[in-house]
Structure 1
Amino acid sequence: MKKFLIIALTAMMLLVFTGCDKPKEETYKITVWVSESEGVKELTEQQIARFCEENGVTLDATVEGISEADSATVMITSVEDGADIFCFSQDQLSRLVQAGALQVLGEAASATVTELNDEISVKAATVNGQLYCYPLTSDNGYFMYYDKSVVKEEHLDSLEDIIADCEAAGRLFSMELETSAWYNASFFFATGAVSEWVTDESGAFVSVNDTFNSEAGIIALKGMQKLLKSPVYNSSSNAADFSAAIPSAVLISGTWAVSDVKAALGDNFGATDLPSFTVDGVEYHLGSFSGNKLMGVKPQTDANKAALLQKLALYLTNEKCQTERFELKGWGPSNLAAQQLDAVKSDIALAALNAQNAYATPQGQIHGSWWNIALAYATSAKEATTDAELQAALDSYKQAIDALFALDTSGLIFVGAWNGWNNTDDAMRMEKDNETFTITVEVPESDYMGGRIVTPGEWDNDKGVTAVTVGVELIQPADAEGNPDNNIIFLAAGTYEVSYNATTGEISIVQK
């Protein structure tokens, strides 16, 4: 298995990104990963061609479309084989830094990025005071789309009134609560609860200030129950819900859905900030996560190529390129000058997002396990009928958070469908003998018989199907698109001995 490419570049090279010495005249072959959204690949190709013309350089660039949610996973699987420049969501930054997949920006580049972009996006690209990437957007948050023929304008600030409008019209209210902590956290932020994670210089999580298990958390769950227990509740964030057999009249989603929502609603299209809910006579305006999309550069062995890539990344995230992406896709720019364009300021969806940002919590680096841990309280709240049951759900949540830091993170765990994807499960801890880790696992028959070897409490994915050298006939072949998490997916139920050699990075599988 190929190892991570970790390159130490000189301080002088780190400072080069613009206008200094012209890069050595050479044709560089590069790969760039951008959003798979229609038209983005072609626009990026045009922007790279323009960069080459303006700077008198030649690049043999292959531009490929890949989801920002998946690109980090694919990069970490093999940094060496990954793209030279790639786009990703900010919640992936910590794991990319830990994997050595990002070249830190030098002082000059950092100063320019800080000057040209909004504060939230710069923070999103920063780990322990160092910029690791370039802000691409400032629109990765959510707000409320609604059907103006169903939801009355005077009801827009009341969750209870909006639910009543939906119930009266026989229409649904789409919001992911049981299936997405990113969305359900909005109720906790409304009541002042926080979940603030701290990393060390390597990007590893060392502590958390989490107040979800509190009186504020109880109020949050009571507010959440108003939607969870309603017959119009639909756990979804899909714009297609407006065109479903039983259509939604409300959708909590982001700017990426605007084109489809407009097409579905036509003249009844509406967008605004999230509403408030009331508990014991007190109103709480729903909060949200605010986030960004980022562009990173992989470390290089060739200093000239590295300098050119940094210059290209800065160009692809400048005012002109961000404006072009706004015009094509409606993406909200992080560039301060682009934000002041009349077309940007008058955009209905971005205006709704900006209104919601007054109640938003900037999404910092969050432990990968939190996203699953924070689902259980929503499921429990849906069935709960007493405060004691709500408190029990929050107690369980707190115990799971605390366990992350009490966890013995040495060794490896073989996590998967067979243990409910519990990456803290000591029962699935592999036995170590010198540099070889081994476990015998019973894989039951199910729709998905996959999993991978991880560090306890983490979701690293370099020890998966691409590392298997013995027993490949027992599993599905590697598929970066269909299996972006690099899981080992067994073809049949049975008992298997799985071994990982930490020296060679190879995995062997033997059916018992």
Structure 2
Amino acid sequence: MKKQTKRVLGVGATLGLSAMLLAGCGSDKETEQATDTSKTNENASIKLWVDAAQVETYQGIVDDFQKENPNWKVTIKPSESATAQENIKKDPSAAADVFMFPHDHIGQMVEAGMIYPNTKYEETVKENNIESAVDAATYDGKLYGYPYGVETQILYYNKAKLRAEDVTSWNTLTAKGKLGTNFGEAGANYIFTPLFMSNGNVLYGENGEDLKGTNFNNDKGVQVLEWIRAQKDNKGVIQSNAEALSNLESGKVDAFLSGPWSKNDVEKALGDNFAAAPYPTVDFGDGEVQQKAFLGVKLFGVNAATKSPVAAMALADYITNKESQLTVFEGHGTVPSNIEAQTAENVQADEVTQAVMTMSDAEHSFVMPKLPAMVTFWGPSDAVINDTFNDKISADDYKAKLDKLVEDTSK
């Protein structure tokens, strides 16, 4: 999950004032109705959107749901989660009642009145999922999403070249092996912006919702840029972007940073020498601290324009419960956000999943900000990281560059 799509400025008139109010603060009458399953949506027909590759998996889950709820008919349609908000915006009344989407779109959806608050299963979600996933499903203090998976970058490495203890710190990793990663080209922002949070700073505040909450322009931020520049002279760091995987396969590098989406390719490249681990620690000058990554959370949401909110919420809750998350893990490798599902034997046995679960806590990751203004951050942050690494900014200008970055991305 990298970049947000363009901020939504409005939705069609079909959404209606009542739905707008629901998505904002809700009305007591609608909330009461949505929690009374005995009087509403008795014969509902619900449309569900999931990624095309997962339709078959979710069909089996939905079949079980319908056995328990024979009066509710669910139709599954393929629709990519990354573009859910764009597709709903086109015609909310024709869109799915329940849809999957990346959590960093939630701010845009809430502010546009596109998503129905979780009025019925809030406590269930909070009790059953890890804290960071619940945080990602929440906006402006209100829960909207239904988490079903987490993802974050991890470290892949060749265990014929590096031992497990070698990869626990950046210094030993790059002293004993070669790490291929991208500091100097587009996309470095997603990988290395969390360095600032590793050193104690925040991006759009602690919860990713404060427009004026970025504080990179301080001594700790300058330390991060100094560390980034030093990596250009680190013989154990090989600038790698599109060629990172081929460099790993050829032996030019011994490790690289990527997410669970790269698992199959890395296993093919390394064979029996495949290994995965959480991020190492780094030292910006004041001692070792945990290197962090962005955390992405996979969510389902309910369309604010749904005519069947009770049935839609029940479906969203069912397809994200422990059993459903385990089914999706088995079919697609999606790392569960459900606390009990994470303890399942097959989940615990997977090396990549173990690394992602470790990375998904607050010590190891920073929840991708949900603020719509995040779209303005990516370009300027890439420029600062790239230019620092490529020695296009003098050390004397680091603070000024960070001042400008914070100013430009806080409007």
TM-score normalized with structure 1 length:
0.67
3-state secondary structure, aligned to 2:104: helix
Structure 2 letter corresponding to 1:151: L
- Structure 1 Cα separation of the partners of residues 325 and 353 of structure 2: 14
Alignment partner, residue 296 of structure 1: 301
2:221 alignment partner in structure 1:
217
Correspondence for 2:383: 376
Deviation at 1:188, TM superposition (A): 1.2
Q: Which residue of 1 aligns with 2:278?
A: 273
CA contact (8 A) 1:134 1:295 kept: yes
State yes or no: 1:33 paired with 2:10: no
- Pairwise CA distance, 1:220: 0.9
Aligned partner of residue 57 in structure 1, secondary structure: coil
Deviation (angstroms), 1:209: 2.0
Residue 141 of structure 1 corresponds to 152
Q: CA deviation at 1:173?
A: 0.5
One-letter amino acid of the structure 2 residue matched with residue 361 of structure 1: F
CA distance, structure 2, for counterparts of residue 65 and residue 140 of structure 1: 20
- Structure having the larger proportion of residues in strand: 1
Shift of 1:298: 0.4
Correspondence for 1:424: none
CA, structure 1 residues 286+329, in 2 after alignment: closer, same or farther (shift >3 Å)?
Answer: same
Q: What is aligned with 1:510? A: none
What does residue range 167-246 of structure 1 map to in structure 2 within 5 Å? 167=178, 173-175=180-182, 178=185, 179-197=187-205, 207-228=211-232, 232-235=238-241, 242-243=248-249
| TM-fit CA distance, 1:329 | 1.9
2:351 is the counterpart of 1:348: yes
What's the offset of the Cα at 1:215?
Answer: 1.3
Of 352, 362, 367 in structure 2, the residue corresponding to residue 362 of structure 1 is 367
Shift of 1:84: 2.1
The answer on whether the counterparts of 2:184 and 2:389 sit within 8 Å (CA) in structure 1 is no
Alignment match of 1:127 (pick from 125, 134, 139): 139
Query: Higher helix fraction: Structure 1 or Structure 2?
Result: 2
* 1:86 maps to which of 88, 99, 107: 99
Q: How does 1:313-324 map to 2 (within 5 A)?
A: 313-324=316-327
Describe the SS at the equivalent of 2:116: coil
Residue in structure 2 matched with residue 330 of structure 1 by the alignment: 333
CA contact (8 A) 1:152 1:165 kept: no
Q: Where do 5+ consecutive residues of structure 2 fail to align? A: 1-10, 20-26
Aligned to 1:390: 398
Question: For 2:143 and 2:200, how far apart are their aligned partners in 1?
Answer: 29
Partner of 1:63: 77
Residue 311 (structure 1) aligned with residue 327 (structure 2) = no
* Alpha carbons 1:122, 1:135 under 8 Å: kept: yes
**Measured at CA, do residues 328 and 238 of structure 1 come closer, stay the same or move farther in structure 2, by a change above 3 Å?**
farther
Give, in angstroms, the shift of residue 310 of structure 1: 1.1
Distance 1:246 1:79 in 2: 51
Q: Distance in 2 between matches of 1:63 and 1:241?
A: 39
Of 95, 98, 120, 2:111 maps to 98
Secondary structure of 2:197's aligned partner: helix
SS at match of 1:69: helix
The SS at the match of 1:232 is: strand
Task: Map 1:436-455; keep pairs closer than 5 Å.
Answer: none
Contact 1:241 1:247 in 2 (8 A): yes
Contact (CA 8 Å) 2:93, 2:305: kept in 1 or not? no
**More relative contact order, 1 or 2 (CA 8 Å, 6+ apart):** 2
Q: Is the 8 A contact 2:50 2:76 kept in 1?
A: no
Equivalent residue, structure 2, for 1:5:
15
Alpha-carbon distance in 2 for matches of 1:365, 1:300: 22
**Cα distance 1:340–1:279, how it changes in 2: closer, same or farther (>3 A)?**
closer
Is 2:62 aligned against 1:48?
Answer: yes
1:74 Cα shift? 3.2
How high is the TM-score relative to the length of structure 2? 0.83
Write the distance in 1 (CA, Å) between the matches of 2:301 and 2:111.
14
Q: Is the 8 A contact 1:125 1:132 kept in 2?
A: yes
**Which residue, out of 64, 87, 100, partners 1:74?**
87
Provide the C-alpha distance between the structure 1 equivalents of 2:173 and 2:210, rounded to a whole number of angstroms: 41
CA distance in 2, matches of 1:256, 1:23: 41
Q: Which residue number in structure 2 is paired with residue 287 of structure 1?
A: 292
Instruction: Give the letter aligned to residue 31 of structure 2.
Output: L
Q: CA deviation at 1:180?
A: 4.3
Name the larger-Rg structure: 1
CA 1:344–1:52: 2 relative to 1, 3 Å = same
